Copies of this chain bind each other. A is one copy, B any other.
Amino acid sequence: MENLLSNVNGLSEELSIVDNYIDKFLHTERDAGTVDNVFSSVRNSRGKMIRPQLLLLAARFGPHYQDRQRNLCKLGAMVEIVHMASLIHDDIIDDSPLRRSRPTLQHKYGKDMAVVAGDFMISRVLRYLAEEQLMQEALNIGRTIEEMCRGELRQMACRWDTKTTIDAYLRNIHGKTVALFVEAVQMGARGSGASADLSDCLTAIGEHVGYMFQMRDDLLDFISAEDAEGKPVHRDFADGIYTLPVLYAFGQPSCGPRLEEIAGSEPASPGYGGLLREMGELVRQSGGIDFCRRQIENHAAQAKQQIAALPDHEARLGLGNLIDYLNQ
């Protein structure tokens, strides 16, 4: 990811600044022992920083990008912290033992610590938004976290429901994932003083990237070999979370009924591993994986159209590379 975007002038330097702000915003010094261990685990759980990158790329199209660079990096750090906090709380929900091939916080320190660690991160976002007098951003981040909660709750409500529609799925992932991508892009656009038209165009790109990102994640969970992404395969299915390839397959007469049978099986039963493999094969045969790929391609094509409508700037290349990366 970092290599991909290194061709955009100055972006890696900005990401280092974002990184420093994340450290600053999550810095704790008063405690020793367990408390501090938890917080360092939090600080070290950083990912690919796709959201800050998107924010900074979007910001390059605004007239005030240069003089607001530091501020934009701060916003990038806040978006990433919101994302990190949501991962920690999601892992409690999913009971995940691994994230990015490393033990999750809740696996390492227990659910209790994970609940508090996520809350701590949000308290820091709140505090620094206030310290930096970022009222409008506070409002938007508040709304985005609410969207994320809604998405998470809706997804829970759809759990084990084999009749979940693809529309419901799209609504769920909009809250769960897309909303924060959109917020990142809009922060970049607003923060650099982009015009309303430009901001709309960038928002659309952020939305497509968000959908692509989540669908790709669903696809990887589905097709990758065990542990390739540091996650067990078909974990979503076993948890009753039916992602796009599966939902498509449920609707196919050739395999839908058998898939529903498998979905009704007890995950703790001895033959369940075999059933999961059968499920994987059925979904593939039904065209569910191809369907998911096509959706990703559609979003990629639409995003590229929007990118083409942006003013000529090397950041367009960066956005294009991001799209290609997610469309691999």
Report A102-124 residues with CB < 8 Å from chain B CB: 110-113, 115-120, 122-124
A154 and B124 contact, CB distance less than 8 A = no
Q: How far is the CA of A167 from the CA of B118 in the complex (A)?
A: 27
Q: How big is the A interface, by class?
A: 35 or more
A116 and B152 contact, CB distance less than 8 A = yes
Looking at A28-36, A43-51, A221-229, A302-310, the stretch in contact with chain B turns out to be A28-36
Report A121-173 residues with CB < 8 Å from chain B CB: 122-131, 133, 135-136, 138-139, 141-143, 145-146, 148-150, 152-154, 156-157
Q: Which residues of chain B come closer than 8 Å to A152, judged between CB atoms?
A: 112, 116
Q: Which residues of chain B come closer than 8 Å to A129, judged between CB atoms?
A: 126, 130, 138, 142
Q: CB within 8 A of A139: which of B35, B122, B131?
A: B131
B124 and A146 contact, CB distance less than 8 A = yes
Residue of B nearest to A123 (CB): B145
B35 and A113 contact, CB distance less than 8 A = no
Instruction: Give min CB distance, A286 to chain B, whole Å.
Output: 29
Q: Which residues of chain B come closer than 8 Å to A143, judged between CB atoms?
A: 123, 127
Q: How far is the CA of A258 from the CA of B146 in the complex (A)?
A: 50
Q: How far is the CA of A150 from the CA of B123 in the complex (A)?
A: 11
Does A4 count as interface, using CB distance less than 8 angstroms? no
Indicate whether A157 sits within 8 Å of B33 (C-beta atoms), given known contacts A116-B149, A122-B145, A129-B138.
yes
Instruction: Give min CB distance, A86 to chain B, whole Å.
Output: 8
B120 and A149 contact, CB distance less than 8 A = yes
Q: How far is the CA of A149 from the CA of B148 in the complex (A)?
A: 22
Q: Which residues of chain B come closer than 8 Å to A93, judged between CB atoms?
A: 111-112, 115-116
Copies of this chain: 2
Q: How far is the CA of A146 from the CA of B116 in the complex (A)?
A: 9
A141 and B126 contact, CB distance less than 8 A = yes
Q: Which residues of chain B come closer than 8 Å to A130, judged between CB atoms?
A: 129, 135-136, 138-139, 142
Indicate whether A119 sits within 8 Å of B145 (C-beta atoms), given known contacts A31-B154, A156-B112.
yes
Instruction: Give min CB distance, A144 to chain B, whole Å.
Output: 8
Instruction: Give min CB distance, A291 to chain B, whole Å.
Output: 27
A142 and B123 contact, CB distance less than 8 A = yes
Q: Which residues of chain B come closer than 8 Å to A15, judged between CB atoms?
A: none
A133 and B131 contact, CB distance less than 8 A = no
Closest 10 CB pairs of A and B: A127-B142, A126-B142, A123-B145, A130-B138, A130-B139, A34-B157, A120-B149, A93-B112, A123-B146, A35-B153
